[in-house]
Amino acid sequence: MVKVGKDWVDAYFAYGVDVLNRRLFLLGTIEEENVTRLIQGLYLMDAVAGSDTKKITLVVNSYGGSVYDALALYDAMRTVKAPIETVAIGKCMSAATLIISAGDTRWATPNCSFMIHDISSWEEEKKVSTMMVELKHSEHLRQRFIQLLEKHTKLSKTKIKQFCGDRADHYFDAETAVEYGFIDNLWSEKD
């Protein structure tokens, strides 16, 4: 059993981890620093005795970010024993849509905006051989992302590829997110 003191609680809360109330906050970019703390918080909460039946809530308000870090958080969410509840507020875009859809129970506030699109990578001067290797790897990541979205939503692989293959971003509201299967329910006022 992990013993959690006040100093730990205060330190973690400053980084989006509310240990006492079993809540995590992904507010901002999905990047290594944010995701590392959330993963540590997930495993800390999961280590507490009897926590395998007590839900952990992950609140998300993000434009997205690194697909690598999104996949790391996804894997952590899917390997802890505790059920994970995800709640989208404000915006849930790009890689954040995978995180929201991976919850065991999934919510969004009525005014939340969603967006999916193709994955992207850094553009910088590189040798053609390096770009070819990275392109192959990016295509692998793209297929994996599509496969996971298909697993957790009501969208077919063809529809996801259509949304991700367009040159433009695909925006939708919370009601459409329910229809697509990214979330299960709208979180109405004072529910």
CATH number of the domain where residue 112 is located = 3.90.226.10
- Collapsing DSSP states into helix, strand and coil, what is residue 65? strand
Contacts of residue 86, defined as CB under 8 A and 6 or more positions apart, other chains included, come to 57, 58, 59, 60, 99, 100, 101, 102, 103, 105, 106, 107, 183
Q: How many domains does the structure of the chain reveal?
A: 1
Cα–Cα distance list, 132 to 135, 136, 143 (Å): 5, 6, 17
Please tell me the least confidently modeled range out of 50-54, 85-89, 134-138, 180-184. 50-54
**17 pLDDT exceeds 90?**
no
pLDDT at 47: 87
| Average pLDDT of the chain to the nearest whole number | 87
Q: Read off the pLDDT band of 134 (50, 70, 90).
A: confident
By residue count, the chain amounts to 191
Q: Is residue 1 part of a domain?
A: no
Q: Is residue 179 part of a domain?
A: yes
Identify residue 77 by its one-letter amino acid code.
Answer: M
Q: Which domain holds residue 132?
A: 6-185
Please tell me the least confidently modeled range out of 11-15, 126-130, 141-145. 11-15
Sign of CA pseudo-dihedral 31, 164, 143, 147: positive
Q: Is residue 141 part of a domain?
A: yes
Contact 86, 75 (CB under 8 A): no
d(CA 80, CA 1) in angstroms, rounded, equals 15
Q: Read off the pLDDT band of 149 (50, 70, 90).
A: very high
pLDDT at 124: 65
pLDDT at 6: 58
Token pair listed for 48: 């507490």
Please tell me the least confidently modeled range out of 87-91, 98-102, 133-137, 174-178. 133-137
Q: Read off the pLDDT band of 131 (50, 70, 90).
A: confident
Identify residue 174 by its one-letter amino acid code.
Answer: A
Q: Is residue 119 part of a domain?
A: yes
Q: Is residue 51 part of a domain?
A: yes
d(CA 64, CA 120) in angstroms, rounded, equals 11
Q: Is residue 90 part of a domain?
A: yes
Q: What is the pTM assigned to this prediction?
A: 0.85
Q: The tokens 């998300």 sit on which residue?
A: 60
Burial 21-44 (b: 16+ CB within 10 A, else e): ebbbbbeebbeeebbebbbebbeb
DSSP 108: E
Q: Is residue 123 part of a domain?
A: yes
What average pLDDT does the segment 8-34 reach?
A: 80
Q: Is residue 191 part of a domain?
A: no
